[in-house]
Amino acid sequence: MIIPTLSVVVCTRNRVNSLKRCVDALAAAATAHACELVIVDNGSSDGTREYLESFKGSAINRLLVKSTFEAKPGLGRARNTGWRTASANIIAFTDDDIYVANDWVDSISAIFEENPETGFVGGPVLLYDSTDYNITVRETRERILFRPQEFIYPGWIGGGNMVFKRSALERIGGFDQRMGAGTQFPCEDVDVEAAALWAGVPGLYDPRMVVYHHHGRKTEREAQQLMRSYDKGRGAYYAKYILKKASRGEYSRAWIGSVKHEFVSAIRGGRFPTMGRSLRELSSGLRFVVSGLFEGAH
């Protein structure tokens, strides 16, 4: 049995049409490497299961497709199911509304070959549809090293273009299942990156591995709704690492700096500083701390 060089994990819930386009883009990616696609159905009821049944372990353009089911909603939990089902030692995560660039697989392989000490890698997330609201993108074209025991800001490596060595995921126990879309705290991507860094695993942002996000949000209201959910995720993320003695100083300074930035930006813009973002972060951080008293901590 040939062990794939790369496993790609896509978690999905009730977005079968988006999923089909995502799979088509992955299957079209040009590579000579052996790859597999692991699709995690996170409790869909829209025909996703029937679509996945059509594969039954078959291959599309040399891309072996297999699927698994995770009934309990939550992207952190679903990503754990995915990477533990996967076969390769390099695990790439993307989303069902993302299309990978044609050279994405080969770029990932080259980056890890050139940087054997690196435990995780991310890259640009570009807007696919120019009529979509310009959010959830990362266009930076500079290479960035993330060193152990350093703060990593949310959004630098998004969950739609994030690749881990299996050994790094095993070292930290995978994703925090309390986090991710479908939970109160949508921040499982930056949390797993931070967990790796504070476990001594370096990371890297490399502009060669590109994906395109087709999120479909057209209005300011839709964009603000998403951004407010991210505020809640950041609050939980900050709170989690402030609770840890080793990272408390770094994360306290980062959060204070974020609050100060919101205040100063409002004043300079001639607006009254309502501090809505910071208050949402604080409220969510407190909820995260309280929830941890009743649930098993990661």
pLDDT digits (tens, 9 = 90+) for 125-150: 999 999 999 999 999 999 999 999 99
Same domain for 210 and 75, yes or no, is yes
- Within-domain flag for 145: yes
Query: How many other CB atoms are found less than 10 A from the CB of residue 258?
Result: 17
Cα R_g (the chain), whole angstroms:
19
- Within-domain flag for 188: yes
Same domain for 232 and 183, yes or no, is no
- Within-domain flag for 297: no
Does residue 105 carry a pLDDT above 50? yes
pLDDT digits (tens, 9 = 90+) for 60-103: 877 899 999 999 999 999 999 999 999 999 999 999 999 999 99
Q: Domain count for the chain, please give it.
A: 2
Could you give the 3-state DSSP secondary structure of residue 40? strand
Q: CATH no. for residue 126?
A: 3.90.550.10
Is 77 exposed, middle or buried (CB count within 10 Å of its CB: 0-12, 13-18, 19+)?
A: buried
Same domain for 157 and 279, yes or no, is no
Asked whether the beta carbons of 43 and 73 are under 8 A apart, the reply is yes
State the residue for tokens 């692991």: 38
- Within-domain flag for 202: yes
Domain enclosing residue 243, as ranges: 221-292
- Within-domain flag for 103: yes
pLDDT digits (tens, 9 = 90+) for 33-52: 999 999 999 999 999 999 99
pTM of the model: 0.95
Give the pLDDT band of residue 297 (cuts 50, 70, 90).
Answer: very low
Same domain for 279 and 181, yes or no, is no
- Within-domain flag for 189: yes
Same domain for 131 and 225, yes or no, is no
> Among 189, 218, 247, which residue terminates a domain?
218
Pairing of strands 98-100, 211-213: antiparallel
Could you give the 3-state DSSP secondary structure of residue 53? helix
pLDDT digits (tens, 9 = 90+) for 2-32: 789 999 999 999 999 999 999 999 999 989 8
Same domain for 144 and 284, yes or no, is no
Same domain for 153 and 278, yes or no, is no
